[in-house]
Amino acid sequence: MLTATYVLLTLSIEQKKERHFISRLLQYVQASARRPQEIDPVFLESQLQQLTSFAEARHQRKVEACLMPAVRAAEPSSTPLLNDLECLSRRGSAMLNAVYRCLRRAMRRSASHGKFLCKTVDLYCQNLLKRLDKEEQELLPLAQKVISSEEWFEIGSKFLAQDDDHAASRPELRPVRSRIYPGAATA
């Protein structure tokens, strides 16, 4: 059961980091929505790239590739929950594509494009938060109940291997510095 604790703790820590980063990005976007002419699309793009490389990579490598298949195999009645999570992931990918299209338009410094960009980023972040909530409140408790010790050991081994493989390439989430209130750190 020690391996199960390691896996769950790893996911919990990563989800907490992701939530914190999403929160800071949302603060920036919500403040920017009030002053769309001051949006810095290059800064916003770099923050989005950091978030998505962490959030999406973590989710795909650990939750979708390791945890969800184990839950699906152990508990056939988990299909609706897993389908919901997969739907949120697909929706998030589509939203992210929309965010980047809006970002290209906002590069023209149009206030209307800036407001739409802020709304699109907000929707993407809300989708990520909804996915995290569903994982924390439904998937992880179910996984604790249905996955065997042997399976937890296999999942933990995969996590360790992936962490080793991606340690050099995994971006460190840096605090968002406010472009609206110079000198104010939002982290």
Secondary structure letter of residue 61 according to DSSP? I
User: From residue 165, how far is each of 48, 133, 155, 157 by CA, in Å?
Assistant: 23, 27, 15, 12
Q: Is 177 helix (H, G, I), strand (E, B) or coil?
A: strand
**Average pLDDT, integer, range 78-106:** 90
Query: Phi and psi at residue 186, in whole multiples of 5°?
Result: -100, 10
Q: Compute the half-sphere exposure of residue 89: CA atoms within 13 Å on the CB side of its CA.
A: 18
Indicate the domain borders of the chain: 2-166
Q: Is 75 helix (H, G, I), strand (E, B) or coil?
A: coil
CATH class name, domain 2-166: mainly alpha
Q: Compute the half-sphere exposure of residue 59: CA atoms within 13 Å on the CB side of its CA.
A: 24
Q: Which residue has the higher pLDDT, 176 or 120?
A: 120
**Average pLDDT, integer, range 172-177:** 51
| Ordered alpha helix ranges (H), 135-169 | 140-146, 149-166
- d(CA 122, CA 99) in angstroms, rounded, equals 9
- Asked whether the predicted pLDDT for residue 99 surpasses 50, the reply is yes
| Residue pointed to by tokens 């020690």 | 2
Summarize pLDDT for 152-161 with one digit per residue, the tens.
999 988 888 8
**Average pLDDT, integer, range 58-85:** 91
Query: How large a percentage of the chain has pLDDT more than 70?
Result: 83
- Band of residue 110 on the pLDDT scale cut at 50, 70, 90: low
Residue 167: predicted pLDDT: 60
- Asked whether the predicted pLDDT for residue 178 surpasses 60, the reply is no
Helix pair angle (111-134, 41-58), 10° resolution: 20
- d(CA 165, CA 148) in angstroms, rounded, equals 26
User: From residue 147, how far is each of 2, 45, 62, 79 by CA, in Å?
Assistant: 13, 39, 15, 15
**Average pLDDT, integer, range 122-149:** 94
Q: Is 157 helix (H, G, I), strand (E, B) or coil?
A: helix
Q: Which residue has the higher pLDDT, 28 or 164?
A: 28
Q: Which residue has the higher pLDDT, 16 or 161?
A: 16
Residue 179: predicted pLDDT: 44
> In the predicted model, what is the mean pLDDT of the chain?
82
Q: Which residue has the higher pLDDT, 85 or 56?
A: 85
Contact 125, 95 (CB under 8 A): no
